[in-house]
Structure 1
Amino acid sequence: MLNNTSTKVMESLLREIAKFGTAYVKRIYGDWTNPQMNTWKKLLNDFAVLPIQQFSYTTGKNSTDTALIIDAMDLLYTDKFDGFCIVSSDSDFTRLAHRIRQNGLVVYGFGKKTTPKAFVSACDRFICTDLLDVDTENLGNEIVQENIPVEINNTQKKDKKLNKLLKNASDSVVGDDDKTVNLGTLNQQLLKLDSSFDPRAYHCKKLGELLKSTGLFIVEGNNVTLK
């Protein structure tokens, strides 16, 4: 369900969504009588996205928010879906994300890096649309090649917030006797601690590459050990 997004990210956005499953219902909300929406028309046909008309009854008020929320609740009560993707940088959908998750469904949020923290945290996973041009594989299933050296990045090595997040995630999933953790398991824990975590934000295509660049971890295949 799309609201307040740009035509520039449509293809990469749908490619990203496809990593999580099949999008059976694809809708975008707006006032299609507005000439500014003309650039969307070809894209909607190309990607089979259904435009939902919502007139702008009052200047300065976004009536599409309400329409999206009502439709989302209607779809929720059909009990036919496993999750929702909400594409917006608007904090007004925070309560909607909470409500969907209360029913046991997964919520994937997509928006700009300026998206309010409340909406970001309300999602199981939040992907910054500014990062979608980076071509990357599924982080949870990646295998890092052992013989390819990765240079330690001083910027990431000094990033206290990043290092704290990585260490906390690692400490949460390692055993008492074994300090080694599976790369996919670590990635899942990172997303639990920070739904917006994405190696692409640190100019790394994969999680293993990011871990190596901090100089804090030893990565061998799918195994990660804190130094």
Structure 2
Amino acid sequence: MPEIPSSLRIAVLIDCDNVSPSYAPLILEELASHGTPTIKRAYGDWTTTNLNGWKKALNHHAIQPVQQFAYTVGKNSTDSTLIIDAMDLLWMGNVDAFALVSSDSDFTRLATRLRESGKRVIGLGQRKTPASLRNAVDQFVYLELLKASAEEHDDAAAGHDADAEESAGEDEAQPGQGSSRSSRGGRGRRRGGRGSKSAGAETPADDTHAEESTTDAQPASTPELAEAEEQETTEEAPRIHLESALVKAINATSGDDGWASLGVIGQHLSRAHADFDPRDFGHRKLSDLVMEQPYLQTRTEGRTVEAAVKARRRRRAEG
């Protein structure tokens, strides 16, 4: 993927009617890799209970709430307020990019207008986001991918901590045989606490208690959040045909020898497919994704990694 200057000033505009508050930290962490979120605003009718879940997130992440009353039933006034604010920020000229956090296609024209004015536009939304909005931005990031990536990182960290704890317990058990037996017993209980058979009937009770505590801490369910949570559990296959996209990108950017640098390939993919993301195919980096494909070959020239299509190389050799 192309590198974005870290000095990029980003205005983050969140449509809270269409986004679950659980995504707030993931959104800001993702945008930190693109630049600096200098403006963070969340739009909705804060006089209702529908957005109670967002109130804690606003305070924790220093996001400014923008109030918009629902003047007419069935009409979304929040969209209009967000659009007006975005145009004001555009003319103020103190931001370099806009992050539109929504799955609503009503922001398609706004994204197009901002890009026409030379601003970079990053979209963040769920997989249900219509193609019109996904294709109107410079880059579109699926919120489900951010969640899956964060969970994978947490699982890896938990596994590392567990290994370190086990290693420390074994080291402490070395001085004496009695302490070794004691340590083994302690470790056995700890394993049981994680859900082994030796925990007996205590584990379900503990799990149930933990679930009840978590449930009590959650805000009341609303139609908007219920829809968002339902989307979180829905898994869809990537919309992009990976082999076709990679081969076309390499053919479009390669030199006479058939090789193209990964940086140029990533730029082409971003322009051709705004929602292209290596994480959608199980890899955090484009280089790892390309190296795994059996129909591609890679090489390193200095500090530059290049890729070529194997079939094309064979045809050129045969010719």
Question: Under TM normalisation by the shorter chain, which class is it?
Answer: 0.7 to 0.9
Give the match for residue 194 of structure 1.
273
* 1:224 aligned residue (285, 295, 307): 307
Kept in 1, the 8 Å contact 2:269–2:276? The answer is: yes
TM norm structure 1: 0.85
Amino acid at match of 2:14: L
TM norm structure 2: 0.61
Q: Distance in 2 between matches of 1:79 and 1:160?
A: 35
1:71 is aligned to 2:94? no
* 1:124 aligned residue (131, 138, 161): 138
RMSD: 1.8
Amino acid at match of 1:182: S
Q: Distance in 2 between matches of 1:60 and 1:219?
A: 54
**Which consecutive aligned stretches of 4+ in structure 1 deviate over 6 angstroms post-superposition?**
none
* 2:103 aligned residue (89, 94, 97): 89
**Cα displacement (A) at 1:212:** 2.8
Deviations 1:105-140 (A, max 9, x none): 10000111110000100000001111003159xxxx
Amino acid at match of 1:113: R
After TM superposition, list the pairs within 5 Å mapping 1:12-91 onto structure 2: 12-91=26-105
After TM superposition, list the pairs within 5 Å mapping 1:86-165 onto structure 2: 86-133=100-147, 134=149, 161-165=241-245
**Cα displacement (A) at 1:160:** 8.6
1:37–1:160 distance in 2 versus 1, CA, 3 Å: closer
> Which entry has the higher C-alpha Rg, 1 or 2?
2
Listed as ranges, the gaps of 5+ residues in structure 2 are 1-12, 153-236, 311-319
Deviations 1:22-52 (A, max 9, x none): 1111001001011121221121111110000
* 1:185 aligned residue (240, 264, 271): 264
Q: Look up the SS of the partner of 1:196 in the other structure.
A: coil
Give the match for residue 253 of structure 2.
173
Q: For structure 1, which segment, 51-60 or 68-77, has the greater mean C-alpha deviation from structure 2 after superposition?
A: 51-60
Deviations 1:51-99 (A, max 9, x none): 0001111222111000000000000001221110000000000000010
Q: Distance in 2 between matches of 1:38 and 1:118?
A: 30
Q: Distance in 1 between matches of 2:295 and 2:28?
A: 34
Kept in 1, the 8 Å contact 2:240–2:276? The answer is: no
Paired-residue identity, %: 42
